[in-house]
Amino acid sequence: MAKRKQTTELSNYGVKHIAFIMDGNGRWAKKRMRPRNFGHAEGAKRIFEIALDCSKRKIEVMSCYAFSTENWNRPQSEIDYLFKQLEVELKKKVPTLMKENIKLVTMGDITRLPLSTQKAINEAISETSANSGLILNMGLNYGSYDEIIRGFKNIAKKIETNEINSDDIDAKMISDHLYTAGYPPLDLLIRTSGEMRLSNFMLWQLAYTELIFTPVYWPDYTPEQLELSLQEFSKRKRRYGGLDNE
């Protein structure tokens, strides 16, 4: 395991926007002969630990897949626990977010979430809204298909009202109508647990993103693991469809 640098020397290796598909909570718990919810509780804590590390590295945005549009297919008892755990963690962590100048935002339609969860989220968003450090972007009831459809519907409304015409539509316009409008391009996506698929996550944003699939389960994904991922990223050559200068 690589030794961590001192806090003041932590490098972001050129990453401005990092994203996580946080997979493996249930399997992590099963290996320890504990219920799946135990894994979800540990996984929720890890979100904020990694966010603090990203903040110290001066990464601008951390996007994470907290609850997908497909996760509604899970048992209702597990869904209920996930949202209650999110409420607990938000209430506990908001003081830390304030201290560390971290701004919480969400992507996805949170109106389907329990009212108590919506309240906790909106309160945390409001309280941290003036913070100017890391943006912690949580995907909640998020799916990339839904995001892109939503964006195109909003563009279509502007065409209907003659604000724009169809010839104005380009990649920038589409990007400007996604949840990540105004954020830096996505540099690095990390998926934990060994699964190698994107699972309907930030498909438009991932066009030129570097991908890392690690076998480490999310509850075991520590700042030390992040350091290893960033070191691997630093060895990649990003050509964006072009050629090396060699």
Could you read off the pLDDT of 74-111 as tens digits, one per residue?
A: 999 999 999 999 999 999 999 999 999 999 999 999 99
**Is 23 noted as a catalytic residue in this protein?**
yes
Q: Which of 141, 67, 130, 143 is nearest to 104 (CA)?
A: 130
Q: Does domain 22-234 have CATH number 3.40.1180.10?
A: yes
Q: Which of 23, 37, 137, 187 is catalytic?
A: 23
Asked whether residue 6 carries a pLDDT value surpassing 70, the answer given is no
The arithmetic mean of pLDDT across residues 127-135, rounded, is 98
Query: Percent of the chain at pLDDT above 90?
Result: 92
Asked whether residue 18 carries a pLDDT value surpassing 70, the answer given is yes
**Is 73 noted as a catalytic residue in this protein?**
no
The arithmetic mean of pLDDT across residues 208-222, rounded, is 98
Confidence (pLDDT) at 109: 97
What distance lies between CA 157 and its chain's CA centroid? 28
Q: Which of 12, 37, 53, 71 is catalytic?
A: 71
Confidence (pLDDT) at 238: 76
pTM of the model as a whole? 0.92
Q: What confidence category does residue 144 fall into, taking pLDDT thresholds of 50, 70 and 90?
A: very high
Q: Which of 21-30, 93-102, 235-244 has the lowest mean pLDDT?
A: 235-244
Strand order in the sheet with 103-107: 103-107, 135-142, 61-68, 17-21, 188-191, 210-213
Confidence (pLDDT) at 200: 98
